[in-house]
Amino acid sequence: MSYQKTTTQSGYVILFSILITAIILTIIIGIANVSFRQHQFTTQVTQSTKAFYAAETALECIQAIDNKGLFVYDITQPPADVVLFCDVNTTPIIVNAPAGSPPYVYEFGYGNNGSLIEVSPNPTDFPMCARARVTKYEVAPTQPNPPNGLTRYLHTIQSFGYNVSCADLATHLDAITANQPSPIANRLVERSLSYSYQSEEQ
């Protein structure tokens, strides 16, 4: 009888130990899963913030150039190439002048139309890049025209920021153009900003 009682007690101890171990493992796995999800969320927020900052920096840079009147849109004047100097850039960004008649579209980093905009002061440790498009055209005659014979123009600046370096973004765009898988597609984040205004001119 004593031998059988000892065996029964030992079985209960083993079963209880397994149960406690399972509970502890479940708790550990749950905590690890929550930590992993929090890490993923934090990483996504960080990368999204970088992309937004790149878009914002490019937009402000182009606005400064636009305020100087360097983007030609008057049909009586031929459009000219624009050299864009951003504060954080070490080299000029050149965008090809648009061809044909208005609307005039100046593109930064689209195909062969201009260079990508490097907006990061330290591309190695904190990579960021941007593309942009500047569109200028006369408002359709069906809309109310301003008085005194003035012409109303609509100006739109769009910027697209990315959380990767311009070298990586160029590789990504080349892969997309060639219909090939991109090596950075799973970590690329894009944020965009747009700014529009109207002007009345002779």
| Distance between CA atoms of residues 133 and 158, nearest Å | 5
**Per-position b or e across 12-28, b if 16+ CB within 10 A of its CB:** eeeeeeeeeeeeeeeee
132 pLDDT more than 80: yes
Calculate mean pLDDT across residues 138-155: 69
Give yes or no for a contact between 133 and 109, defined as CB atoms under 8 angstroms apart: no
Average pLDDT of span 2-11: 56
pLDDT band at 162 (very low <50, low <70, confident <90, very high): very high
Q: Which of 188, 84, 175 is nearest to 134 (CA)?
A: 84
The model carries a pTM of: 0.71
Please tell me the predicted confidence (pLDDT) of residue 1: 47
